[in-house]
Structure 1
Amino acid sequence: MPRFYCSLPLATGADITLPPAAARHVQVLRLQPGDGVTLFDGRGGEYAATVTRMGRSDVAVHVDAHAPLEREAPVAVHLISGMPANERMDWLVEKATELGAAGIQPLAAARSVIKLSGERADKRKERWQAIAVSACEQCGRNRLPEVHSPLSLAEWLRNPPAQALAGDAVRLVLSLREGNRPLRELAAGARKVWILHGPEGGLTQEEEDAALAAGFAPASLGERVLRAETAAIAALSQLVFA
């Protein structure tokens, strides 16, 4: 059954007009009144629904039963990702969402090729969030990872999320420096993990030093040097499938 994200709060028995993005998908599939769909609003679980009206640009549905299904990863992994060039950040957001990332913080690192600010940054954030929505619709997740606005590492370190500073949070930076330890070993038993990694060329020594001073531990994925987007997905996979 087709699945769609609905940005409106859902409730059993409600009759609603779908938001434009969901309505457009229903129309592309040429669904008709009486056809069933699955809706989720990101607050948990999903709803069976029935199309009741197909307009030229709007679609109405009746919301049926709620199913309290959750398909989240056992570990809440937040990526702080040095933005790779071209379309690779799009790919990273899509695959990280499918694997269960709890949040994605695009990082404007010193060696990042992409430089975003102002309206360009806002538009790119909207694009990445839309990619995350589509990935959730495809993979069956009922909760959306938030894709944040791009920040520099200094900006993030000045004002980190409160959860990242909690006593049960583990903060790791992917690093090739001597003394690093296997990521899986450092994150053993953790339920909330923040993973910082650089773009092409990695983080600068100054950026790594700042992260270590802020409580990040240097973590290794092995002997090979991975592309930025590959490293993020490899790290995420090690934790959610451990």
Structure 2
Amino acid sequence: MLAGMPRFHCPEPLAAGPLLLPPGAARHAQVLRLQPGDAITLFDGRGGQWQAVIERMGRSEVAVLVGAHQAVEREAPREVHLAVGIPANERMDWLVEKASELGAASVQPLLAERSVLKPNGERAAKKQAHWQAVAVAACEQCGRNRVPVVHAPAALEDWQPAAGGRRWLLSLADGAPGAATALSAPGPAWVLSGPEGGLTAQEEALALARGFERVSLGQRVLRAETAPLAMLALLTMGTA
């Protein structure tokens, strides 16, 4: 990828030939004031990326010519899934953005007892779509060609992680081993972290019953949006 070359996500499978950019990518190209002849990079989340050249800039349409596929991947060496108690205000946006940059495979927003934000119904669907768009934008910026899935918000008591991999619970409990313990367990990993105020004792007990193991990030109390990212960075970069 050339430094500074604009990158756009296209959700439909790409192939060499003429293409109209999807509405979101077209608006982005117009905001960047791109012109016919400008080179761009496209990716569809199915692996690798495609080189393309803008052929026409219309009022609402941007036509491009898709060229060669490049088998470029920038994924973390370890598959890590985050399950997080939804933090308040705009902090979930920030968490999703940084988790995408750091290589998270997926993000599961959870409604815990101490969660301040508890979207449901149509509001939950809108939040999920918004957070997925945040993940897409982060991948466009950081160079990832596979977009992490942001799942629909789920109640903690109703949620079960997919089978396989180790399960780590970020805990402030006395005696919890250090997070570096997780580095000795290769393979996929699930990281469960609570909202502001943490998980209740009952929620921790439920997680332990579901196969999670306590780990500690140290003596400092990290914010709800910081703790899972710290663990993610340890797992994805500590094994690089």
Q: Tell me which interval the TM-score lies in, with the shorter structure as reference length.
A: over 0.9
Matches within 5 A, 1:62-141: 62-141=65-144
Q: Residue in 2 aligned with 1:171?
A: 167
Q: Which residue of 2 aligns with 1:217?
A: 213
Distance 2:141 2:184 in 1: 30
Return the letter of the residue paired with 2:19: I
Asked if structure 2 preserves the Cα contact closer than 8 Å seen for 1:104 and 1:148, the reply is yes
In 2, distance between residues paired with 1:41 and 1:142?
A: 7
TM-score in terms of structure 2 length: 0.95
TM-score by length of 1: 0.94
The aligned length equals: 234
Deviation at 1:191, TM superposition (A): 2.0
Deviation of the 1:209 alpha carbon:
0.1
What SS does the corresponding residue of 1:228 show, helix, strand or coil?
coil
**Is the partner of 2:124 in helix, strand or coil?**
helix
**Among 43, 50, 55, which residue is 1:47 paired with?**
50
Gaps of 5+ in 2: none
| Residues 1:15 and 2:24 aligned together | no
CA distance in 1, matches of 2:235, 2:189: 9
1:29 paired residue number: 32
- Pick aligned residue for 2:229 from 220, 233, 239: 233
Amino acid at match of 1:64: G
SS at match of 1:232: helix
Offset at residue 213 of structure 1 (A) = 0.6
Compute the RMSD of aligned alpha carbons.
1.0
Q: CA deviation at 1:122?
A: 0.5
Letter in 1 for 2:143: G
Contact 2:50/2:67 (CA < 8 Å) preserved in 1? yes
Question: Aligned residues: percent identity?
Answer: 60
> For 1:123, what is the secondary structure of its paired residue?
helix
Counterpart Cα distance in 2 of 1:139 and 1:113: 30
Q: Tell me, yes or no, if structure 1 residue 181 matches structure 2 residue 185.
A: no
Distance 1:102 1:183 in 2: 19
**Displacement of 1:225 after TM fit?**
1.0
Per-residue deviation, 1:189: 3.7
**Structure 1 position 179, deviation (Å):** 3.1
**2:198 partner SS:** coil
Using the alignment, how far apart are the partners of 1:189 and 1:65 within structure 2? 39
Structure 1: gaps of 5 or more residues = none
Deviation digits for residues 35-73 of structure 1 (CA, Å, limit 9, x no counterpart) = 110000000111110111111101111111111110000
The residue type paired with residue 31 of structure 1 is L
